[in-house]
Amino acid sequence: MVAVNEEDAYLARPEGPDQNEISVQASQGLPLALPWGLEVIRLGTTFHSERQNTMNPWSEETPFILSELHMIKKELHAEYGTNSTFKKVATHKTCETGDHLSLGFGVGVGLPFVASPRLTMEAIKEIKYGGGYEGLCKRYGDYYVSGYRLGGDTGILMSASGRSRTKIEKYGITATLTVFFVSASKHWEKEFQSFRSGRQVRLLGYDTLENKNWQNFSAAGDDVKEMEAWASRGSAMDADSLRADTDAIMTRSENLLERVGEVLEKHGYQNGQSLTFAQCEGLVQEGIVVELLLQPMSRLRDVIRWMNERDII
């Protein structure tokens, strides 16, 4: 795994479960939710949780009858809702002092999922005469993709650095928001003004629907060299461009629900509608699949049946 700093990681995706959390959930046989991007992973694909930190944790063969998998209805179910977070974090280290202002927005608008798939004869034989359930998981994986959570995420991270040197670290969440339009709030405006006044300022942002990132830096005086180094990765900014980038990200966040809805409307998808594999995969390519929902193989009806079946096949 390649190590990245906090700000680089923020650009990649919204926060999701780390490897240790996935391992704990998998050991307890709990469902998993993996933050996702534009790579197409088909419903019914199986997943090896012990290979989560490798380049390819997905199985190359399926334990499911493909013809029946295609026939199973993949229904779109609405679950409209929004969540927003507003954090102000002060980090004091020996190397620098920094304040961080972080806002995150997420919205879920739908959930296409596949019902309980049927096992192939090969998979059943693995349970009956091979290594049992453990053998099934070793060969095919211990989870399968049961659904996509549709939606979008937009976020912004601003960090302002001073020159004091202390060894104290302090983290705090000042507010949790349940509605949008943060950019119009007095609290946000006050914090924004304090960040842009006379310090080194880094701005990072992302929008999953447009697959777009923002990365800017401003500094003054003897910090020009650092600004030039940062500009080689992103672009330097002044106060006006800082406000412009912030407003662009905020506008996208406040229109997040509508923008996701427009994608579904464009295709004519409605609540309760059955979708094909191709239609589901098209939603991934549109950038509105924010999570893969994984169910443990142990919950499948066929797995439970054949683990307890004593008849000879």
- Give the pLDDT of residue 197: 67
- Give the pLDDT of residue 47: 97
Q: Over 80: is that where the pLDDT of 107 sits? A: no
- Give the pLDDT of residue 6: 47
Distance CA 256, CA 207 (A): 9
Contacts of 215 (CB under 8 A, 6+ apart): 11, 203, 204, 205, 233, 234, 235
Distance CA 228, CA 226 (A): 5
268 CB-contact burial (10 Å; exposed 0-12 / middle 13-18 / buried 19+): exposed
Can you read off the two tokens belonging to residue 30?
């709990």
Across 10-24, 83-97, 161-175, least confident range: 161-175
Distance CA 125, CA 127 (A): 5
Q: Answer yes or no: are the C-beta atoms of 43 and 138 closer than 8 Å.
A: no
Mean pLDDT of 165-193: 57
Q: Over 60: is that where the pLDDT of 269 sits? A: yes
Distance CA 234, CA 213 (A): 10
Tell me, what DSSP letter sits at residue 271? T
- Give the pLDDT of residue 238: 66
Mean pLDDT of 67-74: 87
Sequential DSSP letters for 207-257: ETTTTEEEEEEE--GGGHHHHHHHHTTSEE--HHHHHHHHHHHHHHHHTHH
Mean pLDDT of 267-288: 90
Higher pLDDT: 175 or 132? It is 132
- Give the pLDDT of residue 167: 39
Q: Over 80: is that where the pLDDT of 240 sits? A: no
Q: Over 80: is that where the pLDDT of 228 sits? A: no
Q: Answer yes or no: are the C-beta atoms of 44 and 139 closer than 8 Å.
A: no
- Give the pLDDT of residue 101: 76
